Amino acid sequence: MEYAENILGTIGNTPLVKMNKIVEEIDALVLAKYETFNPGNSVKDRMAVKMVEDAEKKGWLKPGGTIIEGTSGNTGMGLALVAIVKGYKMICVLSDKQSKEKMDILRAVGSEVIVCPTDVEPDDPRSYYSTSKRLAEETPNSWYVNQYDNLANREAHYETTGPEIWKQTDGKVTHFVVGVGTGGTISGVGKYLKEKNPNIKVWGIDTYGSVFKKYHETGVFDEKEIYPYVTEGIGEDILPKNVDFDVIDGFTKVTDKDAAVYTQKLSKEEGFFLGNSAGAAAKGLLQLKEHFTKDDVVVVLFHDHGSRYVGKMYNNEWMKKQGYLD
């Protein structure tokens, strides 16, 4: 009989799916690493398990403890599943720009959800970074995950996602493209693939309002680059320790409007019901098309599921209010 011991046993081994209509103007073979097949419907399930198991080994997380994390929703979902199976409590701290669906889904799997304002500095006591840390200090027998600086995040992708892509493409992958938030996915996968073949190019998708692209190109952390943006799950106003800029060949920035419009396009033209960062990645692919040739195999990783964005990017009234649809 074939079965998993628990839901965590179904994480990983997600399929590669050929993209067609949206990438017609790209000469290369473009394959989507479709991470919504994970049980929590996102790539973050991978590092959630790895970070918890790492914390258990190091004695940071003890039986009956509480896991506390600042999240845009997907890491919280992955951690919530791990918490259920392993018997921990879960507190998720989100910024108020995250979709209502994400908050409702986290509550549905038993997490306590605390919402913080988006438009404050990271070190402001009201920010979701600061609130997460404070709660961990105040809560007995708790562990603050800190996915941004917890290097078990990128190790999960070095150990699982990277090898899967290499095996699934029979070692023929030439480019890896992915949205960058904590940096764990791009850095872990990028490191593994470049160890296999140093000629593989690794491209990050960034958003306007984030510091990554300029920092990568100049080494300057420019606070003028930081301003509020709508796109969820990618970009940062900090430099997480998980971002290994040495394995990244370049970044391209995608506007909020393009990310939202291409989120809908993926659904309507490819049958890919995906999240907001997938729209950004799809538009980013087109912006990078001159880097690809007909002999290339481009793998783009899509992070999460469209069900988290039904009230936003898939709602035409919301899209019109934002000025994204005529």
The predicted model gives 233-262 an average pLDDT of: 97
User: 65-115 pLDDT, tens per residue?
Assistant: 999 998 888 999 999 999 999 999 999 999 898 888 889 999 999 999 999
- In this predicted model, what pLDDT tens digit does every residue of 126-146 receive, in sequence order? 988 899 999 999 999 999 999
Whole-number average pLDDT of the chain: 96
Spatial distance between the Cα atoms of 27 and 125, rounded to a whole number of angstroms = 49
Burial class (CB in 10 A: 0-12, 13-18, 19+), 325: middle
* Numbered ranges of CATH 3.40.50.1100 in the chain: 7-40+152-321, 44-144
CATH for 7-40+152-321 is 3.40.50.1100
CATH topology of domain 44-144: Rossmann fold (3.40.50)
Query: Does 199 score more than 90 pLDDT?
Result: yes
- pLDDT bracket for residue 186 (50, 70, 90): very high
Task: List helix spans (H) across 87-242.
Answer: 100-108, 128-138, 152-156, 162-168, 184-196, 212-218
pLDDT value of residue 267: 98
Record the tokens describing residue 36, joined without a space. Answer: 């919504």
Residue 109 parent element (H or E): none
Question: With bands split at pLDDT 50, 70 and 90, how would you rate the model's confidence at 122?
Answer: confident
The model carries a pTM of 0.95
Tokens in use for 245?
Answer: 């800029």
* pLDDT at residue 71 in the model: 85
Q: Which pLDDT does position 325 carry in this prediction?
A: 92
Active site residues: 44
Condensed to tens digits (0 to 9), the pLDDT of residues 52-68 reads 999 999 999 999 999 99
Amino acid at 68: I
Cα distances (Å, whole numbers) of residue 143 to 90, 154, 173, 222: 10, 19, 38, 32
151-168 pLDDT, tens digit each: 999 999 999 999 999 999
User: How distant, in Å, are the alpha carbons of 114, 276, 278 from that of 303?
Assistant: 23, 9, 7
